Chains A and B, each alone.
Chain A
Amino acid sequence: MRFPNKINRFNESVISKFSVVLSVLEQGEMTVLELYNTVNESTGDVGDFLEILDCLYALGQIEYNAETRLLHYVSRN
């Protein structure tokens, strides 16, 4: 998992991609594949993509509904 440090520049890091994913999910819920197809140009391969989602989940920014199979953004209100 790449974090910004001496070796990795910020925009190569996993953190720099958070906003890409969140800004898409802010618009509405999506399946994993839909989200991947929408953002994969910025996020890199599936491994990188899943890392970003794992992080956002760990931080409590997104949730996954196993029944509807939809990812959604956790609202702050």
Chain B
Amino acid sequence: MLVEIRCDEFISYGKKRPPIELHPGLNTVLGSETGSNSIGKSTFLMIVDFAFGGDDYVLKSTDVQTQVGAHIIQFAFEFNGERYFFSRETINHTFVYRCDADYNPMSEMKIDDFRNFLLEHYEIDLPLISFRGIVGRHFRIYGRENLDEKKPLHNAKQETDKAAITSLMKLFDKYASVDSLEKAYKKRKNEKDAYNKAQVFHFIPKINKRELMQNERRISELKAELAVIQEVSGDQIMGLDSEQAQVIADLKQKLTNAKRQRSRLTSQLRAIENDLQFDNPRLESNFQELLRFFPGTNLKRIEDIEQFHHQLATVLNSEFEEAKQRLASLISLAAEEIADLEQEIKSSGLTPKISRSILEDYSAKKGEIRILEKENEAYIKKEELKEIAKSMEDRLNALMEEQIGFLQSMINVKMDRINDYVYSGEKKPPVLTIKKPNSYTFLTPDDTGTGTSYKGLVVFDLSVMQLTVLPALVHDSVILKQIGDEPLEKIMELYNQSSKQVFIALDKKGSYPERTQILLEQSMVLHLTDDGNELFGRSWNTK
């Protein structure tokens, strides 16, 4: 337990305060009779939280950090009769120093190691929950976010109901079995989600049920057509998959093209060879005949014409000879290609007897079947993943509900008992209702009064403390001052009877009934007033 807090900046009437000694059961920070504000009650509770490994003193009590500046909080815990001394700097709050009995730092530890030290020394052996996860929710101090009397499970306003419920389950050790199932479920769900995403981005085909049926019908049609092709082409085509069939079909197409090219070249060559055989005798009578159509023209002499003819024929002859050679070499290239292709087709094991169009048809049908089957497989796989995830989710929810049921009834029974003590059995207790794993309500039936609501919050914390390993409670005056005198007196008794530490702040001792006054007096660890006896010896709210 926390046994001592000191700080060089704690001042009373100009002098350094002696160490503040803390004890089991109730520890009260008492304010003034006039109920003065800003004298350091909540601040001191924040420092208690700081000693328990919290960060809000540095992060939320910013006015203190500004006004007082960097300072060191020294504190001691006692476990099994042994004291452990620590100091923690506000300016470097992620570390805690282990100290000797005079608070001389000996070694440095990370804040998480310090929290684990507390977990270990409070002998808390709960899986899945941290020390702050246990105490943080039940240290209710002005400035923190867990003061909502209707949402006592919440640690922060923006926290979801689910997270708050989960945390409570962990504290009651009702979560371990759920956790392993939840992890398995999340893995399955991730798998399912990843599959869905892959479908969204078209890495995997996506179809719906109607398309599945259509695909199945189309597949059986195609298979029937393939059977006909096989029938027609004999068994040669069987066993070819669509790619092989396509390769053969492509080869055949190339072969056809090569053959076509060869015959085109050959006919060109033949034409040229024919052309080269020209040399008709040029008869003068032929040219005289021209004059019948072009009378009065001076015809050239036949010798000139023959010379002209000879010149042109010589030129053409040599040109055609070149063309002939070119064609001949192209034809031999084409012939080589044809031979290669034929060899390739032959080595595929398929005789070239099956026509290209049959092969192409066969390939197309095989290919279509494969695509459709892939789509169908993807649909079936998706449905399978969906079903597995759904069934795990159902199991998880059933288990959660069962565990939540235990938890809820344990807490409600305990709250009923404590409430009966507080009201001598005359008033209805607050009720925690966890409707679903992600939704809860907390209220006192037929009574929505402010005091009742805050009393409900206190009863809840007391119940949790009695039922679990929660080592300490902090209730600030902002909660307690709402509660009526009579119930508060009983609550004080309960705090006082606790073997665990309870830290509270309250004002106006004199305004409470005598029994309460005695309890406050007995449990007082710090008394603050607004006349130089503030926590830091001064107030910074006056002009």
Chain A positions within 8 Å of B, measured between CB atoms, are 1, 3-4, 15, 31-33, 36, 45-47, 50-51, 53-55, 57-60, 64, 66, 69
Contact = CB atoms under 8 A, between A and B. Distances in A.
A45 B309 contact: no
Contacts of A60: 297-300
Interface string B132-174: 0000000000000000000000000000000000000000000
Contacts of A32: 312, 315-316, 319
B371 interface: no
Main SS of chain A's interface residues?
helix
Interface stretch (B102-110, B272-280, B346-354, B446-454): B272-280
A64 B311 CA distance: 9
Contacts of A47: 275, 278, 280
A33 B297 contact: no
A45 B299 contact: no
A3 B293 contact: yes
Interface string B268-306: 000100111010101000110110111001111000110
Contacts of A4: 293
A31 to B, nearest CB: 7
Interface string B308-338: 1101110110011000000000000000000
Nearest to A66: B311
Given A31-B315, A33-B316, A64 B308 contact: yes
Contacts of B312: 32, 50, 53, 64
B308 A45 contact: no
Contacts of A58: 287, 290, 299-300, 305
Interface of B: 271, 274-276, 278, 280, 282, 286-287, 289-290, 292-294, 297-300, 304-305, 308-309, 311-313, 315-316, 319-320
B309 A54 contact: yes
Contact of A45 (B274, B304, B319): B274
A59 B280 contact: no
Main SS of chain B's interface residues?
helix
A33 B299 contact: no
Question: Which 7 interchain pairs have the tightest Cβ spacing?
Answer: A46-B275, A47-B278, A1-B286, A33-B319, A57-B308, A58-B287, A32-B315
B315 A69 contact: yes
Contacts of B294: 59
A55 B298 contact: no
A1 B278 CA distance: 13
A50 B304 CA distance: 14
A37 B307 CA distance: 22
A33 B315 contact: yes
Given A1-B289, A57-B305, A50 B297 contact: no
A38 B478 CA distance: 108
A10 to B, nearest CB: 10
B289 A3 contact: yes
A72 B111 CA distance: 105
20 contacts: A1-B289, A3-B290, A3-B292, A3-B293, A31-B315, A33-B315, A33-B316, A33-B319, A36-B316, A46-B275, A47-B275, A47-B280, A50-B278, A54-B282, A54-B287, A55-B287, A58-B299, A58-B305, A60-B298, A64-B311
Contacts of A54: 282, 287, 305, 308-309
Contacts of B315: 31-33, 69
Contact of A15 (B278, B293, B305, B313): B293
